[in-house]
Amino acid sequence: MLHIDLDEEEGIVLLEPEGALSEEDFKAAARIVDPYIEKSGSLNGVLIHTKSFPGWDSFSALIKHLRFVKDHHKKVACVALVTDSAIGEFAEHVASHFINAEIKHFAFDELNEANNWIKTDTQE
């Protein structure tokens, strides 16, 4: 399951996976994020907050995840990976070559710092 919390005032969405990600998780995220992007043109940021990377429940969920990133990456200014998983550090360095958003890794307990980074970065 993916918990999705969109702060429309700040233009920041918080994604908190709980267990392996499914196709439905990405459909649910799109149902929440897409109308906001249509209205405002973009998101200031995405906070991905998870202690460890949960993986996907199927290959089709992985494909849906990749498609979600492809469809949204040009409309997001910043992505904060707030996790103690090694994939956070890896993704910060590798994903920056494939997506337009600025990406930064934070420790799991640094959610407030990550949120503030997005707010500060997008106000400059």
Q: Please report the pLDDT score of residue 92 as a whole number.
A: 63
Alpha carbon 20 to its chain's center: 15
CATH code, residues 2-123: 3.30.750
What predicted TM-score, i.e. pTM, was given to this entire model?
0.88
If one compares 101 and 56, the residue with the highest pLDDT of the two is 56
Domain ranges of the chain: 2-123
72 contacts 31 by C-beta, under 8 angstroms: no
Distances (CA, A) of 13 to 4, 38, 86: 7, 15, 22
What is the C-alpha to C-alpha distance for residues 24 and 119, in angstroms, rounded to an integer?
A: 29
The fraction of the chain above a pLDDT of 90, given in percent, is 58
What is the C-alpha to C-alpha distance for residues 123 and 112, in angstroms, rounded to an integer?
A: 17
